[in-house]
Structure 1
Amino acid sequence: MRLNTFVLAMSLALVAVSAGAGELLGPGIISTDQQETSATLTPDGNTLFFMRSDFAEKDDTILVSHRSGSRWSAPEVASFSGQWHDSEPALSPDGKRLYFVSNRPLHPGDALMMVEMGGQRFPGTNLWYAEQQPGGRWGEPVHVDGALNDGAMLYNPSVAANGNIYFSAHRDDSGKLYQIYVARRTANGYAAPQMLDLGDIGRNRMDPGVDPEERFLVYAGNEGDSLGSADIYIVFRDADGKWGKPVHLPGEVNSASLENAPAVGRHFGELYVSSNRQEEIRFPKPRDTAASLQGRLQGPLNGSRNIWRFDIADVLRAHGIDH
């Protein structure tokens, strides 16, 4: 079968393949009435880093939780976070580096990193990483030097096994919206970022999550068929190294709510997604008491963003990926 015919057949096959039902991660512990996004796990799957913030997302902090059996521990602020606008953690595939974005100044005493866009002034972001030290502790954050940090509007890093860093950003060649870039690891640091050719740059594309082997990439955006303001899409890499056409992930991954910050998990087909989907209320509802109303409004499904786990193994298998 010719390559283009194979790719078309696989794309059509995706339409009929559904992703598995979602699981709310750690209700009341990880997923709460606050905003939680950007899940990333250690290679053994037992330590979770994620971001928690207020509804306005002006106060972002990176937290860490540990799993024992099926239960997650009460999250604590990560040792390298808690003072600045830190967000969107992403562990390298080997678990030895944790990348994140922050508005912290490059040098002590410098002014906070700020940017302006559309007449609005807000905290800027550069890419940093913390390295795991002997005994499991994390070292002091290190700024990632190079052209990838130009512009101070960089979000959601994701790291391949070869060290290539994928991220979304607003840069000179992004158009009016955000696009996805890759900064390739070289012997002399990181090469200048290149924008992924995923189609019309009039479409907003954010939050890439790359397969460690770079066989596929998931991201949040709207390619014209989104069910909500943003949905999760998947794009596969062709045999010649080019990225194919984005495909709207089928099944329960997407909803009429906002979905973003997809991250590839540690097990085959595992996908973590942030969503603000709510519990459906049917009227007339059972008559609330003040206590029952307060309990529901303070629960995870109150419209805040939570972390969900999905299984997209069937989608990957339909494209010839089986591990």
Structure 2
Amino acid sequence: MLASAACTIALLPGLARADNPIVQHIYTADPAPMVHDGRVYLYTGHDEDGSTYFTMRDWRVFSSADMVNWTDHGTPMSLATFAWADANAWAGHVIARNGKFYWYVPVRQRSNGQMVIGVGVADSPTGPFRDALGRPLVGNGEIDPHAFIDDDGQAYLYWGNPNLWYVRLNPDMISFSGGPTQIPLTTGGFGTRTGNASRPTLYEEGPWVYKRNGIYYNVFAAECCSEFIGYSTAPGPTGPWTYRGTVMPRQGSSFTNHPGVIDFAGGRTSSTTTVRCPAVAGTPGRSRWRNSPTAPTGQSPP
């Protein structure tokens, strides 16, 4: 759940020509984009009005053919979708495979109060989504799942805060081979954090892995709080990772783009304006409201 915006998203109800921010009628967080059949679908969390914590009970989806005019498709999935979950509809990610759409989300399991990863499935990118398993897919108390399918067809699910994990998903996308594997958080791989002995690297949460020109990128929320967006690269989808620097700085910081790696089509972010979604397919689109004059005091979705 990111604190620095990669794409801060807002929309008007129904079909609208959007201003900035483009969602203005509800509080949204953690937008995760997916392009399907020439249309971009944006999956977000939803903070309840008046909340002073991460009070989130459902997810939303919006779509656009031109990144300007957006359609609000409402709430295709909520906590009620998962009979075994009772809270914390936080940052998720949707990926398409086998003619279906899989939405991986962190939620709190009712039976033990632990954060786990559930998966919803739908026949359409706008849902409705149903519980694919009737139980968590995986659970170790950590959050922020992201799915990636490599060129060889092998799918991976990454997640984690305070650690970083992955599993190799099976072709059905709702089971996995082997067990969860922890990626070593070394300072060489994820940068050096100072003043926090328990978390020596910059990695915080929200991993987003993609491949470009034979190189694997892991873009993540770094060094809470507030966070910035850092990135590492690797020769393979599971590492070894090498920290490369900042994609998006903390709000109020200077910003240097990385030409040919992360190419932003718009300006830089602030608490009230947004950066257009990255032009590179697969780059992260999660963000959170922070210090926004339009958000309630203390509102800062995960």
Per the TM superposition, whether the score is higher than 0.5 is yes
* Structure whose residues are more often helix by fraction: 1
Following superposition of structure 1 onto structure 2, how do residues 110-149 of structure 1 map, counting pairs within 5 Å? 112-115=110-113, 124-133=114-123, 137-143=127-133, 149=138
How far 1:65 moved relative to its partner? 1.7
Describe how 1:1-323 pairs up with structure 2 within 5 A: 24-26=8-10, 27=20, 29-30=22-23, 34-43=27-36, 44-53=38-47, 54-67=51-64, 69=66, 70-74=68-72, 76-78=74-76, 80-83=77-80, 84-85=86-87, 86-92=89-95, 94=97, 96-103=101-108, 112-115=110-113, 124-133=114-123, 137-143=127-133, 149-151=138-140, 153-161=141-149, 162-169=154-161, 178-186=162-170, 189-199=176-186, 202-203=199-200, 205-211=204-210, 215-222=216-223, 228-238=225-235, 242-250=239-247, 252-255=248-251, 267-268=280-281, 270-278=283-291, 297=293, 299=294, 304-305=299-300
**Structure 2 contact 40–64 (Cα < 8 Å) conserved:** yes
- Could you tell me the TM-score, scaled by structure 1's length? 0.58
* Residues 101-124 of structure 1: CA deviation (Å, up to 9, x unaligned): 2235xxxxxxx2443xxxxxxxx3
Q: Which runs of 5+ in 2 are unaligned?
A: 11-19, 81-85, 188-197, 254-268, 271-276
The aligned residue for residue 190 of structure 2 is none
Deviation at 1:232, TM superposition (A): 1.5
TM-superposed deviation, 1:31: 5.5
Return the alpha-carbon distance in structure 1 between the equivalents of residues 241 and 168 of structure 2.
19
Q: Which amino acid aligns with 1:255?
A: Q
Change (3 A) 1:256 1:33: farther
Deviation for aligned residue 1:35: 4.9
Query: 2-side partners of 1:28 and 1:241: how far apart?
Result: 35
Aligned residues: 234
List gaps (5 residues or longer) in structure 1: 1-20, 105-111, 116-123, 170-177, 280-296, 308-323
Relative to structure 1, the CA distance from residue 75 to residue 56 in structure 2 (aligned partners, 3 Å threshold; closer, same or farther) is farther
User: Which is greater in Rg?
Assistant: 1
Post-superposition Cα deviations, 1:222-264, rounded to whole Å, max 9, x if no partner, equal: 2xxx7x53221111013696323323314x44325999xxxx9
Contact 1:102/1:125, CA 8 A, preserved across alignment: yes
Q: For 2:164, what is the secondary structure of its paired residue? A: strand
Matched residues in 2 for 1:135 and 1:39: separation? 13
Q: CA RMSD in A?
A: 4.0
Q: Which amino acid aligns with 2:138?
A: N
The DSSP-based 3-state class of the residue aligned with 2:92 is strand
Supply the distance in 1 between the matched residues of 2:146 and 2:42 (Cα, whole angstroms). 15
Distance 2:291 2:160 in 1: 27
Q: Which secondary structure does the structure 2 equivalent of 1:184 belong to?
A: strand
Distance 2:185 2:41 in 1: 33
- The change in CA–CA distance for 1:140 and 1:182 in structure 2 (over 3 A counts) is same
Q: Distance in 1 between matches of 2:125 and 2:160?
A: 33
Distance 1:25 1:229, change over 3 A: closer
Q: Is the 8 A contact 1:28 1:300 kept in 2?
A: no
Residues 63 and 75 of structure 1 are in contact (CA less than 8 Å); yes or no, is this contact kept in structure 2? Answer: yes
Percentage of matched positions with identical amino acids: 11
- Alpha carbons of 1:144 and 1:267: their partners in 2 closer, same or farther (altered >3 Å)? farther
Question: 1:155 Cα deviation (Å)?
Answer: 0.9
Distance 1:139-1:249 versus aligned 2 partners, 3 A rule: same
Aligned to 2:191: none
